[in-house]
Structure 1
Amino acid sequence: MGDKSDNNGFSTPETSKKRTIDETVSPTDCPAGEHVNAPEAVRRKESFSPLAANSEMQCITHDLTDLVKSAICSPEVMEAICAAVVPNLSVMFTTMLKPLNDKMDAQNKTLSTMSDKLLSQNNEIKQLKAQNTKLRSALADADQDIDALECRLDDMEQYSRRTSLRFHNVSVKYKPIRDSNTQTISESTSNATGSIQTSDSIQQKNDSSNSINHLDYDKIVVDLCNNVMNVNPPITEADIERSHPIGAARNGHFQLLCKFKDWKLKNRVFQHKKNFKTHRSDVFKVFVTEDLTRKRQMLVKQLEAARKDKMIDSHWTYDGRILFKRTSNSKVSQVRHIKDLNDILTELSTGSDNPWNNQNSSEASSDALLNPWKK
């Protein structure tokens, strides 16, 4: 909008231009404070800044936030909020936590009961452990007593057999060797009974020896001792207290048990046992051993297996005692119990240099073991 000047040099402001009907606007379309037909406002460059408006709004917002915080944090407001909210929250939390509290109470009761039971069981376990310890100690003592009694019983049984010998692999068709009078056992028996018998009469059906009478067994023993073992001076039937077979015959052979009347006579016969080797053949396989208890027979079998495995040099029996030597130059040792033998064989298998230096094997001189009654 420009100024008009008159002739005198005065200028008057130019009036607003009148608008046409099409250009007119409603008062409601115009901002507040403006005339409907007012000219457009002239804005100068950089008279308005958006950054300034934003800063003013941030300041106003910050002020409002501080005001709200200060109002809420005031004691009066906090007391009012707590008075209104806390009772409701307490009721709500109590209602929510009641099932959980009930479960916890039940679990506490269960745990208390289990704790009492566990304590009772621990006490019982302690008592049982103490009783178990006592019983184990008593059982160990009882085992030792039983072992000692078994050893004593075995010694007594062996003592009752000290005058007996066993002749193995005696044929049911035994044919005696002729004695100095050129009489066989069967011939001497026929003269005594008035009937003629042959060696075939010794055989029973199914190869059993039950048909041989008592006199035949005694005469077989006499023939074996005098004509095979070469016992000197010779024995007679009067030296034999009792002779009979042991068990059933197997493969035409049986064991013949002979009990002599005198222990010295039995030992004199047994000392000639090696003479059987000179008569051994495919037909004649008789050998003699002492009449050992079942327990000592098992010990001898184990020692024989150890000898075949070259773990020991030799083993033998004398008057019921089981003796062996590790090497030909080692001392004679005696075995009395199966446990002792197992310990000794275990040490031998591990290659121990001195397996006899323990309490399981009893050592003595050869003279003391072979002659226990020598003073």
Structure 2
Amino acid sequence: MDAAMSKNNNNDQEVLFTCSQPNPDTTPSIYSTGKRGKRGNPESPENLPGTQKQQTRQIRRRNSIGDISETLKKKPASLNKSVANKVLEALSSPEVLDTIIPVLTQKLSEALSPIIEAEVKNCIEEQIKPMSEKIISQEKEIANNYQNICKLFIQVNRLEKCCKDRIDQIKEQDKELDAQCNAIKDLETRLENQEQYSRRTSVRFHNVPVPIDEQGKIKHPVNTDHLILDICQNKMNLDININDIGRTHVIGKARNGKSQIIARFVSYRKKHLVYSNKKLLKYNENGTFITENLTKFRTTLVQSLAQMKYDGNIIAYWTADGKIFAKRTENSQKKIITEWEDIHALRRPMRDHDDQTETQASEPIPGQRP
């Protein structure tokens, strides 16, 4: 109804305002003459046509409604404040709060939970997505590395097996090599002994005067047999003749007109006769002396012993039938020297048992020690 009234009011607004003040030109002539009473008043509603009467009623009704609304709007502020305070007091009471809060909480939870869950899910997905992609890539890389490791593991196992087989072969070869080295060492020892045994009938004469030329070289041929017989017969007074000598020859270069001569006798007895009397040449004018004809290896051992005696590490050394002996002190036992380890042992600090007196089992010293 209000809507209809509003529509009518909007449509007839202009007409109503124009009709509220009657126009004297349009007023019928009957109003100018006639009765003076109510009917004679030209502004009286009774004198208006029917349509204008209805419009006048609507204007009055509208004005009455507007007055009521203005009256309601013009309520005192104190009344509005008191009502608001009462409402606030009612809402602030514990009973109302205890009743309203759970309901509001439940409603808010029901309304906000899906939204919050969706937002949280979106945020988590945004954060997890790059991590998930990285994890997937790392998993692929790990899978590839695992495959490579498996391949390498298989290769390592094969290599280990091959190495183990090779090590076993090497160990067997080492055993064979050790056996061969021992055999070679034994053969070298036997060869050394055999070579020395082949020299058992020969000796060396040192510092024997020989003919030399202007350049100091030996004049060949040299009658070495005559030189050896002269030493043995004239200087040593031994019963040696040319038939006792198998062969003689010069060895090495001449130094100051003197050289070495090797003499091989026809028998061991003649050689032993000459060698055991070598002390008879101790004070001759040429400085001639006699030694056994040792192998090269044994000669180096004797030279090392000579240096040790000069340094005071040993007191004496000598040879007998190709064997080499040495003593640290006068009262220590003699030691047979066969290899370099024996030389090194003599250079080590002296122990107590080295000072013991030689036992009866010790071999006698043949001849005079040098």
Please tell me the TM-score bracket, short chain as reference.
Answer: 0.5 to 0.7
**1:65, distance to aligned residue in structure 2 (A):** 5.8
Aligned to 2:169: 131
The match for 2:258 is 253
Per chain length, whose mean CA-contact separation is higher, i.e. which structure has more relative contact order (CA < 8 Å, sep 6+)? 1
Structure 2 partner of 1:203: 212
Structure 1 residues 231 and 336: alpha-carbon distance in aligned structure 2, compared to 1, 3 A threshold: farther
Which residue in 1 is equivalent to 2:229? 222
Which string of whole-angstrom CA distances, capped at 9 and with x for unpartnered residues, describes residues 188-230 of structure 1? xxxxxxxxxxxxxx223422224243xx2111111222333x2
SS of residue paired to 2:353: coil
Return the letter of the residue paired with 2:152.
Answer: M
**What's the offset of the Cα at 1:321?**
1.1
Alignment partner, residue 170 of structure 1: 208
Q: Distance in 2 between matches of 1:287 and 1:227?
A: 15
Counterpart CA distance in 1 for 2:256 and 2:332 is 40
Give the C-alpha shift of residue 91 in structure 1.
9.3
Amino acid at match of 1:330: S
Show the counterpart of 1:140.
Answer: 178
- 1:261: how far off? 1.3
Query: 1 CA distance for matches of 2:109 and 2:262?
Result: 122
Aligned counterpart for 1:108 among listed residues 143, 146, 170: 146
**1:58-97 residue pairs with structure 2 within 5 A?**
68-69=108-109, 97=135
Alpha-carbon distance in structure 1 between the residues aligned to 2:215 and 2:106: 127
Give structure 1 stretches of 5+ with no counterpart. Answer: 1-32, 173-201, 358-362
* Partner residue, 1:269: 274
Please give the per-residue CA displacement for 1:315-362, whole angstroms capped at 9, x wherever unaligned.
1111111122222223333222233433x22xx4222223699xxxxx
TM-superposed CA distance for 1:35, in Å, is 5.2
Contact kept, 8 Å, 2:292 with 2:319, in 1: the verdict is yes
Structure 1 residues 93 and 39: CA distance shift in structure 2, 3 A: closer
Q: Is contact 1:167–1:287 with CA below 8 Å preserved after alignment?
A: yes
Deviations 1:257-296 (A, max 9, x none): 111112111111111212222125xxx2322111000111
Please list, as runs of the form range in 1=range in 2, the aligned pairs for 1:1-375 lying within 5 A after superposition. Answer: 38=76, 68-69=108-109, 97-172=135-210, 202-213=211-222, 216-228=223-235, 230-232=236-238, 234-280=239-285, 284-342=286-344, 344-345=345-346, 348-354=347-353, 365-367=362-364, 370=366
- Give 1:3's aligned residue: none
8 Å Cα contact 1:168/1:255 also seen in 2? yes
C-alpha contact 1:333 1:364 (8 A) present in aligned 2: no
Query: CA 1:119–1:69 in structure 2 vs 1: closer, same or farther (change >3 Å)?
Result: farther
- The answer to whether the 8 A contact 1:331-1:366 is kept is no
Find the aligned partners of 2:225 and 2:254 in 1 and give their Cα distance.
Answer: 18
Contact conserved, 1:332 with 1:364, CA < 8 A, in 2? no
Matches of 1:226 and 1:124, distance apart in 2: 75
Paired residue type of 1:219:
H
C-alpha displacement of 1:237? 2.2
Matching residue's letter, 1:102: K
Structure with the higher helix share, 1 or 2:
2
When residues 288 and 69 of structure 1 are mapped into structure 2, their CA distance, relative to the original with a 3 A threshold, is farther
Instruction: Look up the equivalent residue of 1:209 and give its one-letter code.
Output: I
Query: Which has more radius of gyration?
Result: 2
Change beyond 3 A, Cα 1:92–1:308: closer
Cα contact 1:217–1:243 (8 A) shared by 2: yes
What's the offset of the Cα at 1:61? 8.3
TM-score between both structures, scaled by the size of structure 2: 0.63
Q: In structure 2, do the counterparts of structure 1 residues 61 and 92 end up closer, same or farther at CA, with 3 Å as the change threshold?
A: farther
Distance 1:147 1:364 in 2: 29
Alignment coverage as a number of residue pairs: 282
8 Å CA contact 2:331, 2:355 repeated in 1: no
Percent of paired sites with the same residue: 26
Note closer, same or farther for the CA distance 1:260–1:100 as it changes in structure 2 (3 Å cut). Answer: same
Structure 1, residues 66-98: CA drift from partner, whole Å, max 9, x if none?
65557777xxx69x97xx98xx89998876654
Unaligned runs of 5+ in 2: 1-70
Instruction: Give how far 1:37 is off.
Output: 8.3
Alignment-derived partner of residue 196 in structure 1: none
State the alpha-carbon separation in 1 of the partners of residues 168 and 332 from structure 2.
48
Paired AA for residue 120 in structure 1: R
Q: AA paired with 2:320?
A: Y
Amino acid at match of 1:170: V
**Distance in 1 (alpha carbons) for counterparts of 2:325 and 2:366:** 9
Segment of structure 1 superposing worse, 265-274 or 202-211: 202-211
Name the amino acid aligned to 1:235.
I
